[in-house]
Amino acid sequence: MKKTGIRMIRNIMIIAMASLVYAAGISLFLDPNNLAPGGVTGIAVILNRLCGIETGTLYFLLNVPIVLLGIWKFGWRFIIKTAYAIVMTSVFTNLLSGHDALTEDPLLAAMAGGVLIACGIGMIFKTGATTGGMDIIIKILRQRYRHLKTGFLFQCSDILIVAVSGFVFRDLNIALYALLAVLICGRALDYVLYGNDEARMIYIITGKPQEVGHKLLTGVDVGVTYFQGRGGWTGEEKQVIFCVVRKQLAPQVEEIVKEEDPSAFMIITSASEIYGEGYKDFFAERL
């Protein structure tokens, strides 16, 4: 019970901080520069120009039917945290909207706003909640299509809303800057959620498998696996070395292979998500 209480307080504080970061991206950078960043927030920015209601208030009102959908799909426990995030984001957005924009340069606003929104969303997602709006819809889609990353799904929905903003504001440049904010947000969100865990999968076919494998184990401190293979042309039995390393270590692996066996055959490919010791936890919730 004590651990549960501590975790709950921790999540409340994280959500409040993340909502402030999210709201800062909207009220201090994007909204005052007429940049609609997509999602429910982008719709709120557009409607603000049409009806004059505060962006934070519109954000709250638009979320009501989506929250009801979330209650049906995820239950009250999930929605309690999400509702809290929505309220805090709405309040902070309205409070910060009273301040002047920190920059009137649309390029800088798009970059800073996109990064701040991504940080806010990512922090809230890690508590098991969302900021409402498209977050809930995307969380539902992620349950069915788990191979699609969250940032990609956000981009698809956001680009549509950005296109609408171009017609409403009648300014192609503004729409393009808003699109840039969406792309930056998607990229930054993937980094916040998944971390810099992109790795390299390396297959090494060499006449000196033991020497190369030992050097990799001791020199780079990475695990290796030996596969038994056979040359299709010669029929000769060979051992294939397989290893996965973080991308910054890949050049060291290449150098070791070159030193030990310059005639080795090496295949290097990317791996975006790795689970197991030293990487991600198998049992952690996928975001």
**154's tokens:** 């956000």
Domain spans of the chain, in order of start: 2-194, 199-271
Question: Is this prediction's pTM over 0.75?
Answer: no
Q: Supply φ then ψ for residue 272, to 5 degrees.
A: -80, -30
3-class secondary-structure state, position 98: coil
Q: Which helix (H) or strand (E) holds 226?
A: strand 225-230
CA separation for the pair 30, 65 (Å, rounded): 25
Per-residue pLDDT of the chain (287 residues; tens, 9 = 90+): 666 778 888 889 999 999 999 999 999 999 999 999 888 999 999 999 989 899 999 999 999 998 888 788 777 776 788 889 999 999 999 999 988 899 999 999 999 999 999 999 888 888 877 788 887 787 777 777 777 766 677 677 878 898 888 888 888 899 999 999 988 987 888 778 766 656 788 999 988 999 998 888 887 778 899 998 888 888 888 889 999 887 767 888 888 888 888 888 899 888 766 666 555 555 454 54
In CATH terms, the fold of domain 199-271 is Alpha-Beta Plaits (3.30.70)
> In the sheet where 199-205 sits, what is the strand order?
225-230, 237-246, 199-205, 265-271
- What whole-number distance in Å separates Cα of residue 101 and Cα of residue 238? 64
Question: DSSP secondary structure string, 233-269?
Answer: TT--EEEEEEEEEEGGGHHHHHHHHHHH-TT-EEEEE
* Separation CA 227–CA 117 (nearest Å): 45
* 241 neighbors 216 (Cβ within 8 angstroms): yes
